[in-house]
Structure 1
Amino acid sequence: MSNLFKVEFYKLKTSKIFYLTMFLNLLQGIAIYAFSENFKLMSGKQAFTFILSIQSSLALDILIGIFASDYIVTEFTSGYIKNLISYGHKRIDIFVSKSIVYYIGIIVITFIPALVLSSINTKVNGYGEIFNLYSIIFLIKLFLIIMIIYIAIGSIFVLTAFISRNANITIIVIVFLDFANRILDIIAVQKKSLEWIFYKSIFAQPGIVLSDKATTSEILQAVLISLVIIVATTVIGIYVFNKSDIK
């Protein structure tokens, strides 16, 4: 399995789509910075949480979905997955290695804008508080929580890619999920009865946990929802992949 990881990391480092999606996500963050006077006045800490919370309502989910389509689906259509199986690699090892490296990729894509723009604001406006051990612990906790949430979102895209094995279908499903989440968000504002459903959606969790009013129970809920989705999609994905006839 170590050889599979080496190959996957090499493909990640040489993936043009990986760097393109990273650049596009950074670009949308820069666009917000350029047109938002409030953003420019934020401290480094405020900027860090702000960009992480707002990018999910922009195009981040679609970008990491496109990355999943390129990184996973194209290897079915090219015959690479079939070759791995014929060489004797276990399907579970293929699924796990590809998923984990993909998750590392989306973590990089997700955090690059926050790191770059918060660094700029920290230099211009200061961090917002004395940077000490508690600041480091806060950033580590925030990083881990957001990482788990986006791995959960990514796991849905991985499952979609492994089930469909078709780039067009994968993109359509991802765009539909993103669109449905936006519609549900709008409806939830108007109809409080649907608010409960929206707040249980994995796509809503980044905004919830990054809110200034986020409670401990909301953060724990986000982590629990994420872990359930990761486990469920992984189990289903491995099962489907093991039962699939790879041609």
Structure 2
Amino acid sequence: MHPVIRDIIDDFNPTLLNQLDGALELRVTNFKRDLFPSLEKIDLAIPGAGFQYVIWVKHEPKYPFPGWEFDPIARPMRYIPTYLASGMKFTDIARSIAQLSGGHVEECVKAFCETLNPPEHRYQGMPLGTLARQRRLIACLGSDCTAELSGLASVLINKAKHEFGSGSPYPIISFSDALGGYFASRILGFQVLQLGGILDRYVEAIRSAYSQRIAYTMPSGSDPGDDDKAWPLQSDLSELEENIEEY
């Protein structure tokens, strides 16, 4: 795992870094059984919302839909457990997990920008690394936070989005970097939302959807993309399956 990613997690809680190192050594043949409990335990120690709110429908993970206000923050989180449970090799989905983790923390920063007085609408089109270098954000979030945001963007997120030729048989994005990057994005994301006074409302929206089993979903054989009129994102999973299954 890249030292920048390790430092972000270690600065927050060294115990979580040790737990993640242990999880990365597990032999995984079934994500739900073998790896998910370890990831959920780590996420429970980080304020905000992560794996602890996954809704299982048999072996398919669903993520709570918190409403349109918080959809940009939650939507990347929807796909990460889905990829992990897909049965694909973890090395093959590492890039996607890194990109989605970056999308989550970037949307957290953009939500924070909307809380400023006056709001910084011009920041909405900027990627994370550029956002972290804006003077007003450095002043508002603090130099330590923006330095970690910039570091994560540099060593993981930008590579996941823009670099494809490694010049060697080794992948550009390792699974350990991708999974570590997920938890780094969770840590930085909750810190940013907390500073913006958004965190409690976001978590409450996730909890409410989780308790009512309202999740992101898509009809089988349909892929309407992000068109909110093409299909309803809200679905009461209690009408589909019981959230119980033996391993």
The two structures have a TM-score, normalised by structure 1, of: 0.32
Structure number with bigger Rg: 1
What is the TM-score when the length of structure 2 is the normalising length? Answer: 0.32
Higher helix proportion? 1
